[in-house]
Structure 1
Amino acid sequence: MRLLNFLRSKSFWGSVILAVVLVFVAAFVALKWLKTTTNHDLHIQVPNLDKLDTDQALQKLEEKKLRMVVLDTLDYDKSLPPLTIIEQDPAAGMDVKENRKIYVKINAAGFGKVSMPDLEQLTFRQALATIRSLGLKEGTKSYRTFIGKDVVLGVSQNGKSLKQGDKVLKDSRIDFVLGDGKATLSDEERDVAPAID
């Protein structure tokens, strides 16, 4: 009974109304404070950093009060200038806040080196697929007498014979020595007894 009387009293309802008003005032003040401290309405447009070197990009970003973070150096793309920006995040034209980090990826200064795999005794088609997957190109082909046609007998570059593990620059050409398929096996190699007349 006392509880019901208290819930009907003016002091209870006055406290409820005062609490609701205080919550609304606190929320209004908090939102206004957040709007001013986070620069809610202030946006900076991200500049286009494509093909700029890091010094130029850094200067451009500092003018707009943005920061640059280099994420990675990507494989060399010869269609683009070396050591220039080729990717950025956020993209150019996006609206961001002041002091935002702009993440960039840079074109390498030149081609990196790869290790030569063991290509001997593979077919030319298998060997070609393997070197292309490493970023190498097909050079010249020469043939030597061998039983297997288009079987890789050796690889070279600029006249120097290559073996497994040798380092070569990506995008360079690899020359092949292939079997011509014209050799035949002797009776002994075929392990067949000669015919008796």
Structure 2
Amino acid sequence: MTLRQYLTSKSFFKQLLLAFGIIIVLVFLILQWLSYATDHGNEITVPDLRKLTEQQAEEKLDELNLGYVLLDTVDYNKDFPKYTVVQQDPLPGAKVKDGRKIYIKVNSADFGMVTIPDLIEKTLRQAEPSLVALGLEIGKKTYKPYLGKDMVLEMYADGKKLKPGDKVKKASKIDLVLGDGKVGFEEETDSIKNTDTETAE
């Protein structure tokens, strides 16, 4: 029998079908083994732990056979109760394997303290970003006669006058007293008036 005759014979097609059958069975068995080895289909949905205390989060994770690791406390966030979870990894809704550890960060009890920088006789344009960068808020702005317009003359927090180096809580409102830039002009005008009067006399 020639090769050409063999390739077109029933015997060859039977063996070819048998080979395909064996390959399909092997692929199926391999996929089943992989599914079993990776525990496919038995994933756990990560719960939302935000705003839960560490103990509440631990109890919730224990029910799902998940663990947790407390990484750190974060700067106080007023949108979350103190000592509650602020951040978690993996995020809520993620799929994880049995026994996976969830990494959490907990809210501090209160705002941290920051040091007031020396902003006296700095312009408002310079002072404002410096205060915001420290986590402070700009409060009331009042003006009083001073040659430099929008120049910081005094700073207050809760009615108390601040000096460079004082410490205040983050997120505090800092009230600013600024120069109105009118003193120089008024003095110059008064001087001209006085000169005119003297000349007339």
Shift of 1:41: 4.0
Paired with 2:144 and 2:91, the residues of 1 have a C-alpha distance of 56
Per-residue CA deviation, residues 132-182 of structure 1 (Å, 9 max, x unaligned), is: 22211122334343211111123232234444xx22111111122222223
Sort the Cα spacing of 1:46 and 1:183 in 2 relative to 1 into closer, same or farther, 3 A: same
Structure 1 pair 126/37, CA: closer, same or farther in 2 (3 Å)?
A: same
Normalising by structure 1, we get a TM-score of: 0.68
Structure with the larger helix share: 2
Amino acid at match of 1:103: Y
Give me the TM-score of the superposition, normalised by structure 2: 0.66
The structural deviation recorded for 1:74 is 2.5
Q: Please state how far the C-alpha of 1:123 moved relative to its aligned partner.
A: 1.1
- Where does residue 61 of structure 1 map in the other structure? 61
Which runs of no fewer than 5 residues in structure 1 stay unpaired? 1-27, 188-196
- The whole-number CA distance in structure 1 between the counterparts of 2:29 and 2:136 is 64
* C-alpha contact 2:154 2:161 (8 A) present in aligned 1: no
Q: Indicate the SS of the match to 2:150.
A: strand
Q: Which runs of 5+ in 2 are unaligned?
A: 1-27, 189-198
Within-5 A mapping of 1:1-197: 39-88=39-88, 89-92=90-93, 94-157=94-157, 158-163=160-165, 166-184=166-184
Letter of the structure 2 residue corresponding to residue 76 of structure 1: Y
- Listed one character per residue, the Cα deviations across residues 10-53 of structure 1 (whole Å, up to 9, x for unaligned) are xxxxxxxxxxxxxxxxxx99988776565344222222212111
Q: Which residue identity lines up with residue 102 of structure 2 in the other structure?
A: I
Q: CA RMSD in A?
A: 3.9
1:149 maps to amino acid: K
Which range is displaced more, 40-49 or 58-67? 40-49
Change (3 A) 1:39 1:135: same
SS in 2 for 1:149: coil
SS of residue paired to 1:49: coil
Residues 59-118 of structure 1, C-alpha deviations (whole Å, 9 max, x = no match): 1101111111123323222122122112221433x2211110111222222111122222
Q: What amino acid does structure 2 have at the position aligned with 1:49?
A: L
Partners of 2:141 and 2:163 lie apart in 1 by 14
Alignment partners' CA distance in 2, 1:39 and 1:173: 54
